[in-house]
Amino acid sequence: MIRLLATQLLLLISIVAYSQREDRVLYQQRLVRSIDLRITENENLFGKENKIAEVLLNALREGEITAYTSYSLNDTLSSEELDYRLKHFYSDGSFEYYSLKDLYQMELGEDLVFDTYRSELQFKPVYITLLIPELVSDKGLIEPLATFRWEDCIKIFRKYNVLTYKPVYNGRKINLTEVFVMHAYKSHICKIGKEDEVSYFDQRYANQIDAFLAGKEEEKKIIEIVYKLYNPR
C-alpha cells in the first residue's frame, strides 16, 4: 500500500512538474534548415554516398523505423509509396531508381525554445526529411522522399553506432546524434514557422537572391528576440 501511494505521488509530481515546465516556455519558433550533403563540410560528416540516407532507408526497409509522408508526422509512408517515390520516370514510361548519391539534400525541422525555468535557449530537433533534389527529380521540383521523427533517428544512430565519415571533433569521429545536437553541419534556414502557417522563402519570392535575403532578415529578427529575452527592460 505504501509503495503504491509513493508511486502515485511520484506520478503526480511528474505531471505537475511537466505542466509547470510547459508554462515556462516563454518563446518557441519552428526553424527548417536546408542541408546540402555535397558541401565539403557535410561530406566529412556523411560521406560522398550520403551515409545518413543509407542508414535511415535501410532501417526503414528492415522495419526498425517508421517514415512519414510529410512534415506533420501524421501519415505513415508505406513500402509501396516509398518504392514509387524512389523511381525516376522517363517520358517513354521507363524508370530507374534514384541512387544514394542522388539524395544529397535533406531538411531538419527544429524548435527554438527559450525555457524560463533554466533561463536558456534550446534547439530541439523534431524531424529529418530526405529529399529528391530539383536537379535530379523527373518533375524538376524538390520532392520529399521520407520524413523521420527525430527520436526514432536517435535510436538508429545509437543502435548501429553511426559515426561521421571523417574525424571532425578533437581528431575523432562522433555519432551522428551529436552532429545535429552540436550543429556541426553546414546549413541555411529555408523557412521559419510551422508547415501549415508559412511557405518556404523561395516560394514567397520569385528571385533566389530575394529569398536568401529574406531568410537572413528573419534570422536577424530571431536574434533580436533572443537578445530581448536575455536582456529584459
Give yes or no for a contact between 201 and 191, defined as CB atoms under 8 angstroms apart. Answer: yes
34-93 pLDDT tens trace: 999 999 999 999 998 899 999 999 999 999 999 999 988 999 999 899 999 999 999 998
Give yes or no for a contact between 125 and 180, defined as CB atoms under 8 angstroms apart. Answer: yes
29 vs 99, 111, 143, 232, CA distance in Å?
Answer: 34, 6, 24, 19
Beta pairing class for 188-192 and 87-89: unpaired
CA distance 171 to 116: 36
94-110 pLDDT tens trace: 999 999 999 999 999 99
Mark 43-57 as b/e (b = at least 16 C-beta within 10 Å). Answer: bbbbbeebbbbebbb
| In the chain, % of residues over pLDDT 70 | 83
Identify the weakest region by mean pLDDT among 46-55, 174-183, 220-229: 220-229
Helix axes 150-159, 51-61, angle to 10 degrees: 100
132-151 pLDDT tens trace: 999 999 999 899 999 999 99
What pLDDT score was predicted for residue 123?
86
Q: What secondary structure letter does DSSP report for 99?
A: P
Q: Taking the model in full, what pTM does it have?
A: 0.82
What pLDDT score was predicted for residue 177?
95
